[in-house]
């Protein structure tokens, strides 16, 4: 891989992983637009490690409290902080649907069928508009402390739709949370906390595939990709959280609609020609 390819892939992954615009969709588009070869599974693992480290660092206080609650539970201590325990269990519950259904979709080869510009174009527009509607029409009455297990399961089921490229894992989970009445910052916060076990599960699956293939040679490319994705993801998370304190999701919706229209125009004009 060239230095430019590593930089572009790492930056795209870092920025798009947590913004509601679909990282998988953009990573599919990069080789199509640049005519670059596929970056390979090892680089995928590297950039995922970088984004995982970024979200865990930014939300380190939440992560530490959930780990503490988990430790108290397995050691049968009575002084478990109930809100921390409830949040930890909610994160686990919200992850189960995407792990089960996502694993099935990958095994059946469905994800390969959906990896095309037409699908990305339509999902960008449809789920972008859904985000706009729920972001503007939903009441803001709930915080993370109000989260119940039923809410977590609904958001977790919504996350399953992110198996389809262009949907956006962060976008659809924020959409569901806004629909349930959570504020923009709280919706984003829960979405990003949900990403920790999801990215960990996806990275572990990719890692197992690598181990089976025997292709585990680590080079400077992987460390550079992980480092760049970490830095850009950290900046993207901080920027998004600051933006949502005072503004709406509309800029991301506009971007998604423009991107979707552009992709569909390319697809259908090519079919006509």
Looking at residue 105, its pLDDT comes to 84
Of 24, 17, 20, whose CA–CA distance to 250 is shortest? Answer: 20
- Position 115 pLDDT exceeds 90: no
Residue with tokens 């939300």: 59
pTM (2 decimals)?
0.90
Query: Quick one: average pLDDT of 243-269?
Result: 95
- Position 26 pLDDT exceeds 70: yes
- Position 32 pLDDT exceeds 70: yes
Of 267, 271, 222, 227, whose CA–CA distance to 32 is shortest? Answer: 267
């Amino acid at each position: 891989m060239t230095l430019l390819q590593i930089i572009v892939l790492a930056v795209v992954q870092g920025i798009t992983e947590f913004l509601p615009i679909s990282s998988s969709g953009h990573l599919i588009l990069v080789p199509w637009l640049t005519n670059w070869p596929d970056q390979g599974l090892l680089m995928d693992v590297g950039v995922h490690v970088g984004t995982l480290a970024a979200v865990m660092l930014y939300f380190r206080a939440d992560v530490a409290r959930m780990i503490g609650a988990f430790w108290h539970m397995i050691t049968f201590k009575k002084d478990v902080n109930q809100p921390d325990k409830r949040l930890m269990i909610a994160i686990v519950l919200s992850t189960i649907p995407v792990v089960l259904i996502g694993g099935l979709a990958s095994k059946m080869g469905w994800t390969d069928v959906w990896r095309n510009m037409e699908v990305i174009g339509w999902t960008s527009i449809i789920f972008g508009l859904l985000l706009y509607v729920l972001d503007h029409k939903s009441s803001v009455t709930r915080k993370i402390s109000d989260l119940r297990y039923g809410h977590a399961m609904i958001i977790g089921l919504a996350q399953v739709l992110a198996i389809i490229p262009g949907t956006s894992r962060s976008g659809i989970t924020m959409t569901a949370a806004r629909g349930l009445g959570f504020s923009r910052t709280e919706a984003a916060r829960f979405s990003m906390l949900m990403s920790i076990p999801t990215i960990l599960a996806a990275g572990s699956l990719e890692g197992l595939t690598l181990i089976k293939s025997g292709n585990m040679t680590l080079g400077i490319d992987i460390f550079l990709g992980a480092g760049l994705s970490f830095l850009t993801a950290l900046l993207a998370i901080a920027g998004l959280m600051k933006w949502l304190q005072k503004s709406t999701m509309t800029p991301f919706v506009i971007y998604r609609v423009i991107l979707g229209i552009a992709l569909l125009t390319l697809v259908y004009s090519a079919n006509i020609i």
